[in-house]
Structure 1
Amino acid sequence: MSENIRGADAMGGGAPLMLGASRRQFLAMGAVSIGAAASSSTSAPAPAQGRAGPDEMPRDSGAEGRRYLLKGGAVLSMDPNVGDFARGDVLVQGKKIVAVGPELDATDAAIIDATDTVVMPGFVDTHHHQFQTALRSFLSEGLLADDGQPHGKKNYLSLILGQLTPVYRPEDVYIGELFASLSQLDAGVTTVIDTSQVNHTPEHSDAAIRALRESGRRARYAYSSGMGSGSAYPRDILRLQKQYFSSSDQLLTLAMGAELYGGVREEWALARKVGVPIVSHLVGGFGNSRVLEKLNREGLIKSDNEFLHATGLSEASWKVIVETGAGISIAAPIELTMRHGMPPLQTALDHGVQPSLSSDVECTMTADFFTLMRTVYTLQRGLIHERSLNGESQLPKLLTCRDVIRFATVEGARVAHLSQKIGSLTPGKEADIILLRTDAINVAPLNNVPGAIVTLMERGNVDTVIVAGRIRKWRGALVDVDLGRLRSEIEASRDYLFKKARIRRELF
């Protein structure tokens, strides 16, 4: 299916923050590259431009005029006009893909041996609350809300949004955002829509943006509401746009996180004045379906809307999504675990809407895209199989592995409004590329590329990760990242948050 189906900036400043520093020191910290404090054990070598051996990384990747050739991999382009190659090459110059095909002539380029890997576009996560990374697995057995039904006492709205989120300091936002970004880079997720519901003050917003910039990852920052009297939401989006988002030709772009209640008209009007997409949670069980239909009658729903979850919607709501061209993001593991409602995979497909995929919250489930893809794949097929076993004959098509990869790449780029830049290995697009090892013990021997990615692989197969031409992970290790230091900082943040919120961690 075509990638346009309906339905680089410079690294920002700042070494990883030491949480022992005062708030004033944090806010005043100058611009320093993450790599300045990196240990040699996590940094890849950088040889001179030219032919590189299997353990050598081309220098200055992503810089204007620098060329390198990913040679001899199994190329899964996700662009039907480009095609796939059992053994092919991808030529990168600066931040752009120049050519894709077999035996490309690039005598002046550094050579990166891609033998025994799949070369494909990076994954796109269209909904992730990255600031919550210090809370990983804390709510692994919790629900979304106390809905009056059984099991709801331990829930996200009470514990995460009600008790923990209000005590976040800017430095907690910073380390959570940075750690999440690097973790997903490590797993091959090159792009994220960061749904940032922690903008208690302008300093919290600045901290989130700083971390996203420093990570070297492509991100759309969805500026969302905060808590307390210090919040400048939503008007502060005007300052943020002017200060951080003056150019559209950068890795970090802007969106407005605005829900279907409260001051929606003011927030949405402001987002459209600024000219950014609008990201909203949409869970039908909370009455949002009726609100969606009302807003559409007022002419407020447009193609720049992205709706998260889209569970439990009426037929009229689905008609709104189809007619306006709004995007949807499905977080199947979360929806199944936290009682959002059944992930609307088949409902979306029945309406001709191609979904994107998202991780949502790591307080409950991993942000690993192999887990997301496998969940979507097995869920849809299992539901269709059950209908077949119950005697139905006129059944929808079963999802293929390629379908699910398309959701994770092409459709993710479309919903993020970045299709012109990423989502496929297309000459002229920016080089957001991942190399996945096929000679690992969990994959070899390779017999089917899409099948291996969806049914066999996991984050340990991610060998190399490239964002806008710049190599961010090389031969299994993140480049210029001091993981030991960052881990200490996020542990310190976690300890502060639980203590301040007066919540006792139960390790077992």
Structure 2
Amino acid sequence: MNTRLLLRNGHVISMDPQIGDLPHGDLLIEDGTIVAVGAGLAAEVTDADVIDATGRIVVPGFVDTHRHTWETAIRTCAPDATLDDYFVEVLDSFAPLYRPDDVYASNLAGSLECLNAGITTLVDWSHINNTSQHPDAAIAGLRESGIRAQYAYGSANTSLATYWFNSAEVIPGDDVRRVRDTYVPGDDGLLTMALATRGPGFCQDEVVQAEWNLARELGIPITVHVGMGRLAGRFAMVEQLDRLGLLGPDTTYVHCCYFSDHEWRRVADTGGTVSIAAQVELQMGHGWPPIAKSYQFGLRPSLSIDVVTTVPGDMFTQMRAAFAGDRARINATSWEADTTVPETMLTARRVLEMATINGAHVAGLEDRTGSLTPGKRADVVLIDATALNVAPVIDPVAAVVLAADVSNVETVIVDGIVRKRDGRLLADTVRARELVEGARDHLVTELAKRKADAA
């Protein structure tokens, strides 16, 4: 089996400042590693499988730093929901009904959805561990898809009152240790691990301390929702974490829509990272996506999808929501003040950074993905720039951020393995769809029964 793969004559957007953009670039992959990026490599390489990238834009795989992948089976169930509605309509209704098989089907179909859209790395924020079989099922779905994933072990979700209102329920440490030992004993594989904690505002201080200590005992990062929505934004969660002495470089803060400047400074000073789900935040009432604030305090924000119950599952949507939302807010503020817009206004290239290299940084994987840099693992996406919705191309970065969509994702490579080629996923998508439709049927039927019994 040939382990060398050559992408020939594409417009390479490397996201590596040392390499830059190459209008006619080649990329050589060997044993899953990028070994060379440059012009004219094809003339020197004769023993590789070749993908002709002429007319294609070659970018690093997108990185989704926060997605509740288990919700794939209930896609679009809450189109008009606010964040407050979501807690009732999803976490207190569908979540308690999930079987391990439903989680497996959702994670498999959801991960394939990611790959189809050019998302090669996924942080799976999995707060659906209602039994010890649920995390096993989630991991099985991730692994089967072939995506690069960080499995973030979260709490159970069997009762809104038990798990989200001043909760006294600690994520079960013994089961987290079991999953760590069984599936993710190291940190250098395609699957890595994190802890998805509810954090202050949702949990009692003793629970927060126990969960942070658990993650640090196991040497895994922490990911937590903070500063979002009508209620959660009032909790000053970072201030609480600071008082508990828990802030650190191993923590990703998700949303961050309602931070004081002191909280932003503390996150930055302690090395924290930020994940922004722009479409959800704008649509569900979390608050303005805090992109400008992140950059103001020297942070490198990333992008995430969050929930397909309410928004699309592709990174193109998130890039555009982030770009439009941040610029709309700044434009409006400048108009009100009758001043010119600042030079720091968000640019298309910076948005692409958020979706690629920044995402890798936030997921703790910048040493292996996020840019097309020799020595990194080969997570690569080819976008068809000859399609009518993309052509003609003047600015290739703008073409990706503002013109392309999922239909233009032609080739997807993860860890050197081609997962999508010629616009077709190399997976049993029919089986995945049937499984997730079966999960949907079970969940919708069970919820209807429970509502009828309660009536």
1:291 offset after TM fit, Å? 3.5
Q: Is the contact made by 2:170 and 2:211 (CA closer than 8 Å) also made in structure 1? A: no
1:384 offset after TM fit, Å? 2.3
Q: Is the contact made by 2:100 and 2:134 (CA closer than 8 Å) also made in structure 1? A: yes
Partner of 1:70: 7
Cα distance in 1, alignment partners of residues 353 and 433 from structure 2: 33
Partner of 1:248: 187
Among candidates 352, 355, 361, match of residue 414 of structure 1: 361
Partner of 1:103: 40
CA deviation profile, 1:242-267 (whole Å, cap 9, x unmatched): 10012323111000011223201011
Cα distance in 2, alignment partners of residues 256 and 170 from structure 1: 19
Q: Is the contact made by 2:58 and 2:381 (CA closer than 8 Å) also made in structure 1? A: yes
Q: Is residue 315 of structure 2 the alignment partner of residue 369 of structure 1?
A: yes
1:382 offset after TM fit, Å? 2.1
Cα distance in 2, alignment partners of residues 294 and 489 from structure 1: 42
CA deviation profile, 1:39-91 (whole Å, cap 9, x unmatched): xxxxxxxxxxxxxxxxxxxxx57xxxx11110000000000011211001000
1:474-489 correspondence to structure 2 within 5 Å: 474-479=421-426, 481-489=427-435
Among candidates 137, 146, 150, match of residue 207 of structure 1: 137
Partner of 1:49: none
SS of residue matched to 1:395: coil
Among candidates 254, 267, 273, match of residue 217 of structure 2: 273
Q: Is the contact made by 1:67 and 1:110 (CA closer than 8 Å) also made in structure 2? A: yes
Q: Is residue 378 of structure 2 the alignment partner of residue 463 of structure 1?
A: no
Using the aligned pairs only, state the percent identity. Answer: 42
Cα distance in 2, alignment partners of residues 232 and 416 from structure 1: 21
Flag the 1:472–1:504 CA change in 2: closer, same or farther, 3 A: farther
Q: Is the contact made by 2:227 and 2:236 (CA closer than 8 Å) also made in structure 1? A: no
Cα distance in 2, alignment partners of residues 503 and 308 from structure 1: 35
Does 351-360 or 88-97 show the bigger shift?
351-360
Q: Is the contact made by 2:331 and 2:341 (CA closer than 8 Å) also made in structure 1? A: no
Aligned Cα RMSD in Å? 1.8
Flag the 1:140–1:228 CA change in 2: closer, same or farther, 3 A: closer
Partner of 1:52: none
Bigger share in helix: 2
Among candidates 173, 176, 182, match of residue 112 of structure 2: 182
1:501 offset after TM fit, Å? 1.8
1:235 offset after TM fit, Å? 2.9
The size of the alignment, in residue pairs, is 432
Q: Is the contact made by 1:202 and 1:232 (CA closer than 8 Å) also made in structure 2? A: no
Among candidates 169, 172, 197, match of residue 102 of structure 2: 172
SS of residue matched to 2:83: coil
Partner of 2:352: 405
1:504 offset after TM fit, Å? 10
Q: Is the contact made by 1:200 and 1:231 (CA closer than 8 Å) also made in structure 2? A: no
CA deviation profile, 1:395-447 (whole Å, cap 9, x unmatched): 25221111000000010000000000000000000000000000011111111
Cα distance in 1, alignment partners of residues 304 and 174 from structure 2: 27
Unaligned runs of 5+ in 1: 1-59, 146-154
Partner of 2:90: 160
Q: Is the contact made by 2:62 and 2:121 (CA closer than 8 Å) also made in structure 1? A: yes
Partner of 2:395: 448
Q: Is the contact made by 2:121 and 2:147 (CA closer than 8 Å) also made in structure 1? A: yes
CA deviation profile, 1:20-54 (whole Å, cap 9, x unmatched): xxxxxxxxxxxxxxxxxxxxxxxxxxxxxxxxxxx
1:227 offset after TM fit, Å? 3.7
Q: Is the contact made by 1:289 and 1:314 (CA closer than 8 Å) also made in structure 2? A: no
SS of residue matched to 1:352: coil
Among candidates 49, 58, 65, match of residue 119 of structure 1: 58
Among candidates 94, 99, 102, match of residue 31 of structure 2: 94
Among candidates 426, 442, 448, match of residue 502 of structure 1: 448
Among candidates 330, 333, 337, match of residue 283 of structure 2: 337
Q: Is residue 187 of structure 2 the alignment partner of residue 257 of structure 1?
A: no
Output the TM-score relative to the length of structure 2. 0.92
Cα distance in 2, alignment partners of residues 94 and 346 from structure 1: 39
Cα distance in 2, alignment partners of residues 341 and 215 from structure 1: 33
Unaligned runs of 5+ in 2: 160-168
Q: Is the contact made by 1:498 and 1:504 (CA closer than 8 Å) also made in structure 2? A: no
Cα distance in 1, alignment partners of residues 80 and 404 from structure 2: 25
Cα distance in 2, alignment partners of residues 347 and 424 from structure 1: 24
SS of residue matched to 1:236: helix
Q: Is the contact made by 1:282 and 1:288 (CA closer than 8 Å) also made in structure 2? A: no
Cα distance in 2, alignment partners of residues 503 and 180 from structure 1: 26
Among candidates 437, 444, 449, match of residue 491 of structure 1: 437
Q: Is the contact made by 1:260 and 1:288 (CA closer than 8 Å) also made in structure 2? A: no
Cα distance in 1, alignment partners of residues 368 and 351 from structure 2: 20
Among candidates 253, 262, 267, match of residue 316 of structure 1: 262
Partner of 2:164: none
1:135 offset after TM fit, Å? 0.9
1:159 offset after TM fit, Å? 1.2
Cα distance in 2, alignment partners of residues 453 and 382 from structure 1: 20
Partner of 2:238: 292
